[in-house]
Amino acid sequence: MRPRRLVGFALGCAMLLACAGTTHALDPDRIETHVLDNGLKVVLWPDHSIPNLAMYNFFRVGSRNERPGITGLSHFFEHMMFLGSKEYGPGEFDNVMEAAGGANNAFTAQDITVYQNWFPRTALETIFTIEADRIAHLLIDSTSVESERGVVASERRRSVEDSNVRSLDEENWAAAYKAHPYQWPVIGWMVDIENWKIQDLYDYFHIYYAPNNATMVLVGAFEPDELLAKCRQYFEPIPRGPEPPKVTTMEPEQLGERRTELHRPAQVASILSSWHIPSTSHADYYALRVLEALLLQGESSRLYRRLIEEEELALRVFGGMDYALDPTLFQVFMQVRDGIDPGACEAALYEEIERLQQRAPSERELRKAKNQLAADFYRQLQTISGKALALGFSDVYFGDPKAFLHEVERYEAIRAEDLQRVARTWLQRNNRTVSTLVPKSAAEPEVGS
């Protein structure tokens, strides 16, 4: 395996050097930020490499903004936004966009919901028309709500309840958080999905889908002055909404390890260990990203080598952390190899973490992790979609759409001792929650039956 790893490392370095030659394209003066009279933030980045545009609308609403009884509403609106508005009936949003040569998608997370549009420059007026109409005049009626309620319930059964990995993840978040809304799943609890009221939807849309709660990012073939005028024409008439209520609940410090078990039909056991870590805006964020790469990124990472190649304890190992407005989790998922004691697999994980806590990584290993992160950074910026995501995430999580431009230099500033420090600070036992999937046969009776 060593020759292949060395070749991969050399190729990664070569790619990084090649990508570094494109840094002149990351001129911050080419990125403009404007705030319309109704509070909508518009971020523009002209890129004439192809005659297309990427338009990403970042609404600052996710499962973090929900409460018991209405969990899953943010994700539900991801569906509802495609079901009809004042001028366009059910299905027409997609039909009109595709007829103009465009495509779309959307995703919901704990902190945000993002609507993505890709289209040729010639379709700009059409896309702006339909996008403005659904933001200003979304159709919320009993027929569409009940129809889509069934779709979302089916999605939850398929993607969570029928998935051992997703079920274990849901169990882990619910156990790790006692107070903060990160404890419930983005898709929502089934009992809430089945019981949302029409008034809940009206209220939620009125508060969170207002222009003053959004950042619109546009990257592609346009002239900024011309496009800004179009944004004012189509989106500025949409009225400002009320200021969304602030999320003030913070998770209390965890003072001891928590352990849960999930008994489900499965062929092998799985383990999900998580640790509380700070929010994305925290000073330790970049060191934790480098630590994530060292432990988990690729077949040369420490955990892959130890658990899968060298000791053959696990079939899969993956994890890490996501962007987060509030303190979040660093997770490691391990699918245990058949015939292996899950305790041995878990012990090996903690031994690797302790090794990092006790001894700083070599400069060569640190350089490899930084190269991987830098290569990912420059690779993302090769497309207008990647640029749009970078701008939007940067604005939401760092408060500045241009903050991402300094990402590589912040990775470069991380020292081996910083990884050792954050591992000691955050990846320690009292801060840990462990959820184990215990296999049972389909015919095994329920406990207590």
Where do the structural domains in the chain lie, given as residue ranges? 29-235, 253-440
pLDDT of residue 29: 85
Virtual torsion, Cα 170, 171, 177, 181, nearest 10 deg: 30
User: What are the φ and ψ backbone dihedral angles of 362, each rounded to 5 degrees?
Assistant: -70, 160
How many Cα atoms occupy the beta-carbon half-sphere of 443 within 13 Å?
0
In 181-284, the DSSP E strands lie at: 214-220, 258-265, 270-277
Assigned CATH class of 253-440 = alpha beta
pTM for the whole thing?
0.91
**CA dist., res. 215 & res. 41, Å (int):** 5
Residue whose pair of structure tokens reads 């050399």 in the numeric block: 10
Cα–Cα nearest to 116, from 397, 391, 378: 391
Starting at the edge strand found earlier in the chain, the sheet holding 103-108 runs 32-35, 41-46, 214-220, 52-59, 113-120, 103-108
**CA dist., res. 320 & res. 212, Å (int):** 32
Contact 211, 242 (CB under 8 A): no
Residues listed for the chain: 449
**Can you spell out the DSSP letters for 284-335?**
THHHHHHHHHHHHSSTTSHHIIIIIIIS--EEEEEEE----SS-EEEEEEEE
**Positive or negative, the Cα torsion across 284, 318, 430, 363?**
negative
Contact 209, 135 (CB under 8 A): yes
**CA dist., res. 327 & res. 329, Å (int):** 7
In 134-220, the DSSP E strands lie at: 214-220
Angle at 130 between CA 400 and CA 188, to 5 degrees: 65
Contact 55, 231 (CB under 8 A): no
Q: Provide Rg for the chain, Cα atoms.
A: 23
Contact 233, 38 (CB under 8 A): no
**CA dist., res. 299 & res. 308, Å (int):** 9
Cα–Cα nearest to 181, from 304, 12, 61: 61
pLDDT of residue 199: 94
For the domain covering 29-235, report its CATH number.
3.30.830.10
Cα–Cα nearest to 117, from 135, 103, 128: 103
**CA dist., res. 261 & res. 439, Å (int):** 10
Contacts by 340-347, CB closer than 8 A, 24 or more apart: 340/312, 340/313, 340/314, 342/269, 342/271, 342/436, 344/313, 345/271, 345/307, 345/313, 345/314, 346/271, 346/273, 346/434
The one-digit pLDDT tens for each residue of the chain (449 residues) are 223 333 333 334 434 444 444 444 577 889 999 999 999 999 999 999 999 999 999 999 999 999 999 999 999 999 999 998 999 988 889 999 999 999 999 999 999 999 999 999 999 999 999 999 999 999 999 998 999 999 999 999 999 999 999 999 999 999 999 999 999 999 999 999 999 999 999 999 999 999 999 999 999 999 999 999 999 999 999 999 999 999 999 999 999 999 999 999 999 999 999 999 999 999 999 999 999 999 999 999 999 999 999 999 999 999 999 999 999 999 999 999 999 999 999 999 999 999 999 999 999 999 999 999 999 999 999 999 999 999 999 999 999 999 999 999 999 999 999 999 999 999 999 999 999 999 987 446 555 54
Q: Taking the CB of residue 343, how many other CB atoms lie within 10 A of it? A: 12
Please return the burial class of 158, using the count of CB atoms within 10 Å of its CB with bins 0-12, 13-18 and 19+.
Answer: exposed
**CA dist., res. 141 & res. 139, Å (int):** 6
Contact 294, 302 (CB under 8 A): yes
pLDDT of residue 440: 87
How many Cα atoms occupy the beta-carbon half-sphere of 278 within 13 Å?
12
